[in-house]
Amino acid sequence: MEKLPSLQKLEVLDELMADEEQEINAEPTKSFFVDMLVRDIALEQAILDLLDNCVDGAKRLSEGSGDFTDKNIRIAFSSDEFAIWDNCGGFSRSIARDYAFRFGRAAGARSTPHSIGQFGVGMKRALFKFGKWFRVDSATADEQWAVEVDVPVWELEDGWTFPWADTDSVNVSSDKPGTNIVVKKLRPEVASRFGSQNFENSIVGLIKSKHRQFISQGLDVSVNGNRIDATDLSLLFSDKIKPGIDVFELKYKDTDPVSVKVIAGIGPSSPRDAGWYVICNGRVVLEADRRNVTGWGLMEEQQNRLLIPAYHNQFARFRGVVWFDSDDSSQVPWNTTKDDVDQDSPAWQAAFEKMQQMMRPVINFLNELDRDIDEYTREKSPLLDFVTKTPLRKSDTLSEKTTFAAPARDAVQKGPRYVKIQYSRRVDDVEILQEELGVSSAKAVGEKAFDLTLARFSDE
């Protein structure tokens, strides 16, 4: 091997030493980052994240009035593409450049009071979740801009910026402020679900429940051309039956306060709808929750004593609602996907204690109702009859502090006591009596046979 001159040896040595002293490159690849970003979010939740952003735009335009009349959101999807459009004001080029497309909420980002888009990942996560190509057009009254990204090409490029695109959208403009998003080249698993009627039905049901408050305040939302109606959460309310209601404020050092309202009461008998509802800044986080997260099956650790029973259908009339509201959405107790509560949140821990206190008398009353039904039968129970005839009130109209009130069993007018009789007989014999007695069911056979026997003995 030819010997290198001394100067060349020194230069090679310097290069090797410089190479050894370079810092280790730990930057993620774009493809890895994208795959990790979308892995742990459900497709339904990704759509809701985009809808949340539209609602925040409507909130900014309403300026706290709570009136969303003439604010529209249109969602459309198929096996070929996804699109969402709104007329909720759009956002500026500078916000798009500096904040909206950042992965996470950047310091200094504009905050919408009482917003539901808190964590700064929803839009990007949804776009990457859906497909390999997307375009975002937005317009305010003053300007219009667009971004268009071919994801596989972008993943091979250096840097983490998105390119501006020509503004040729007919859906939004300075005369029609709003935002229009289109995603194409859908991932195969996404295309399959977007083409399913069952998936469409699921999305409609989620929007009805998760955004019930905004829809009831005038927000017009449609999915594939079908307008979504608001659903109400109502409780029994009269002079004799009233839900428990508590309203209070939580304030922690150097943070915006959190307003809390807790309601626990009685609703129509429906196992599907029974449980706790948790609402953060107007967005439903939990609905009809019957887990120990909301107190069902709660044990007292030191005494090993059951404080609240586990849910069963005896409690199908229980309704509990907790509202959290704050100017700073980081103070309300939701997780990043807004589909569960943050149990470590101080606001949740304070409300949870109040929830258990207010839950107990409702459970006691439902136990009494169950005993009344056992004693008098469902058809003849005076307490059940009283409950069934009590009118309903929408839960969001209730705001005055009250304690739970319901009549005692002995306070309700009672007639003769009843008892249910159950027994079994051969089918052939029952069918003979059905024909002879001229009745159409086994139950009617038993009732008719009892009445005839009683009449015979009463005449003697």
Q: Is residue 422 part of a domain?
A: no
Query: Distance between terminal CA atoms of the chain?
Result: 131
Residues 118 and 203 in one domain: yes
Q: Is residue 417 part of a domain?
A: no
Residues 321 and 275 in one domain: yes
Residues 193 and 249 in one domain: no
Residues 292 and 220 in one domain: no
CA-nearest of 301, 275, 295 to 286 is 275
Quick one: pLDDT band at residue 1, thresholds 50, 70, 90? Answer: very low
- The whole-number pLDDT of residue 68 equals 93
CATH number at residue 197: 3.30.565.10
Residue range 433-454, pLDDT digits in tens: 999 899 989 989 998 989 989 8
Is the pLDDT reported for residue 280 higher than 90?
A: yes
Residues 222 and 170 in one domain: yes
Residues 243 and 222 in one domain: no
E strands, 193-313, in order: 220-223, 226-227, 234-236, 244-250, 258-266, 275-280, 283-289, 299-300, 305-306
Average pLDDT on 217-240 reads 93
For the beta carbon of residue 227, count every other beta carbon within 10 angstroms: 12
Residues 280 and 389 in one domain: yes
Rounded Cα gap, residues 260 and 347, in angstroms: 8
Q: Is residue 6 part of a domain?
A: no
- The whole-number pLDDT of residue 291 equals 95
Residues 43 and 141 in one domain: yes
Phi-psi region for residue 64, left (φ > 0), alpha (ψ -120 to 50) or beta?
A: left
Quick one: pLDDT band at residue 29, thresholds 50, 70, 90? Answer: confident
Instruction: Domain of residue 433: give its range.
Output: 427-459
Query: Which residue, 227, 243, 272, sits at the end of a domain?
Result: 227
Average pLDDT on 109-119 reads 65
Which residues, 6 or more positions from 89, have their beta carbon under 8 angstroms from its beta carbon? 57, 58, 60, 61, 140, 177, 178
Radius of gyration of the chain from its Cα atoms, rounded to whole angstroms: 31
Which two tokens mark 378? 């469902």
Q: Is residue 86 part of a domain?
A: yes
Q: Tell me the β-bridge partners of 146.
A: 137
Quick one: pLDDT band at residue 405, thresholds 50, 70, 90? Answer: very high
> Number of folded domains in the chain?
3
Q: Is residue 97 part of a domain?
A: yes
Average pLDDT over the chain, rounded to an integer? 88
- The whole-number pLDDT of residue 7 equals 62
Cα-Cα-Cα-Cα torsion 298, 301, 303, 306, nearest 10 degrees, comes to 10
Which two tokens mark 73? 């959101």
Residues 58 and 147 in one domain: yes
Q: Is residue 22 part of a domain?
A: no
Residue range 165-192, pLDDT digits in tens: 998 888 899 899 999 999 999 999 999 9
Residue type, 342: D
Rounded Cα gap, residues 372 and 383, in angstroms: 7
Residues 396 and 264 in one domain: yes
Is the pLDDT reported for residue 118 higher than 60?
A: no
- Which range has the worst mean pLDDT, 172-176, 273-277, 384-388, 408-412? 408-412
Is the pLDDT reported for residue 226 higher than 90?
A: yes
Q: Is residue 4 part of a domain?
A: no
Residues 242 and 207 in one domain: no
Residues in the chain: 460
Rounded Cα gap, residues 43 and 38, in angstroms: 9
Query: Which residue, 199, 227, 255, sits at the end of a domain?
Result: 227
Residues 339 and 397 in one domain: yes
Residue type, 156: L
Q: Is residue 220 part of a domain?
A: yes
DSSP 8-state symbol, 171 = S
Rounded Cα gap, residues 278 and 293, in angstroms: 11
- Residues 279/294, Cβ–Cβ less than 8 Å: no
Is the pLDDT reported for residue 218 higher than 90?
A: yes
Query: Which residue, 167, 192, 227, sits at the end of a domain?
Result: 227
Residue range 340-349, pLDDT digits in tens: 999 999 999 9
- Residues 54/126, Cβ–Cβ less than 8 Å: no
